[in-house]
Structure 1
């Protein structure tokens, strides 16, 4: 049995995704060349209803941790922004 939800995306309804960007370090800033090089942390948060359950039905387990390769994750690209 395949327990992975990786190949399916939640297509039937809109999904709200919270994006948090934290600037950690500025490597280079050249105002004349309009160049900025930084190190950032990007965090995406969402709720996938397909992974919801009632804890009382599962020995009060309310939280599990899985690797991102095992579940659907939104595609994201950050390029020269």
Structure 2
């Protein structure tokens, strides 16, 4: 008789049907567990993107290269301006 009561209790408990009817998928739950928890929100964008910091670094390098090239191109005393094989003719 006691075993019947425990059977009813386990059927009615919400933990018993978690495996049969999950609220979120198992892979998503594992991803949540792997992700780090932070109190303050990160910058806009995708903070968990693995290439984000690398791409920001490459963008900064590209911007610096463009500015340097523009400086050299607009300065008539710099060698790239004098070299006819470099860049576009003025």
TM over 0.5: no
TM (norm. structure 2) is 0.14
Relative contact order (alpha carbons < 8 A, sep ≥ 6): 1 or 2 greater? 1
Structure with the larger strand share: 1
Structure with the larger helix share: 2
TM (norm. structure 1) is 0.15
